Structure formats: C-alpha cells, structure tokens
Amino acid sequence: MRIASALCAGLLVLWTGARSLEGQTTNTVNASAVLGVQLRVRGLSDLDFGTVVAGTNKTVNIQAPPADATPGQFSIDGEKNATVLLAFNFPAVLLSASGKTLAIGSWTGCQSTSNSVASCTPFVFGTPLNLRPNNGKLWVWLGATVSAPITQAAGSYSGTVQMTVLYTGL
C-alpha cells in the first residue's frame, strides 16, 4: 500500500507537469503604420480681372481669360494618390480702399495633376479630387465673374479667396 501511494503521487506530478508544458504558448504579430505627407497648399497666382468697365460684367474664363486677366491658381502637395476635398471661402464682394463694393460670383474651378491650365478639367465644388499618383500633386485654378453697375465707383477692388484642403482617402 505504501508503494502504491508513492507511485500514484509520482504519476500525478509527471502528468501535471506535462500538461503545464503544453498548456501555454505565446506568439506575436507586428503593428505598423506609415506616417504620410502633410498637406501643403500654396496660392500661386491671384485671380485678376484686369480693367472692368462700369455697367458691364467681366468673366475670367479659366482656360480662355480676357487678355488683361488671369485665373487664380493654387497648388496642393500631399500623399501620393490620396483623395482630397477642397473647401472654399468665396467672397460675395470685392472691396475698395474707401469701402466701396464690387459684386463677384459665378465661381468656377478647374483641376489638373500637371501644372498646365490647358489640360485642366473643370470640377464641381465639393467633389473629392485625387492627388497625382506618383508625387501627390494637384493644381487648381479659379475663375469668376464681377458685375459692375453703371454707378460703380472707379478704383481698385480686392478680396480674398480661402481654400482649405482635407484628406478624405489615403
């Protein structure tokens, strides 16, 4: 009886030990992220209407502006092939130094992944756009129309267009 008890105890220890060895295990996976390029926006050219005659409207057509006018231009640099949303803050009027106003509206936009207005594609404001796949670049041009009544005071008028760019897809 003493022998049997001792043998049983020994077996129990061995079995428990084997279970412990097989009863726990460990492994790993990696977590990874790549920090992408931050967006950078630059204003390259002002939207310039040139000389506007009182009593007329003048439109800067982006790809065919009047001879004395130029479309506005922004450049965007970001992550390759990312999708971005452009948000604009357009003024409703331009202001003179003396506080006179000149109405502006009918804004238009054109975009291209190359810095060539001739190859740009008109876009609807609020539509997501893609940055260039190989370098994350995009160029944006703006046009608009100013409306000068016959009573418009002579002088220079100016305003500010603000463009904010947000990533919507990476």
Partner 1 sequence: MLLATLATLMVPAHAHAQGGRKLDIQPQHDLLFGTVIAGVPARTPPVDGARAGQFALTGPNRSTVELVFSLPATMVSASGATMPLTFGASDAGVSATGAITDQVSFDPRLPYTTSLSKTGRLTVFLGGMVTPSASQRAGGYTATVTLTVAVTSL
Interface residues toward partner 1, by CB under 8 A: 1, 3-4, 7-8, 11-12, 15, 18-19, 22-39, 79, 82, 167, 170
Q: Name the minimum Å distance from CB 139 to partner 1.
A: 21
Q: For partner 1, give the closer residue by CB, 15 or 125.
A: 15
| Calpha distance 129→145 (Å, rounded) | 24
Q: Name the minimum Å distance from CB 163 to partner 1.
A: 18
Q: Name the minimum Å distance from CB 22 to partner 1.
A: 5
Provide the residue count of the chain: 170
Bridge partners for 110 per DSSP: 122, 141
| Calpha distance 88→90 (Å, rounded) | 6
Helix (H) or strand (E) holding 123: strand 121-123
Q: Are 69 and 102 in contact (CB under 8 A)?
A: no
8-state DSSP, 118? G
Q: For partner 1, give the closer residue by CB, 107 or 167.
A: 167
Q: For partner 1, give the closer residue by CB, 27 or 151.
A: 27
Q: Name the minimum Å distance from CB 135 to partner 1.
A: 15
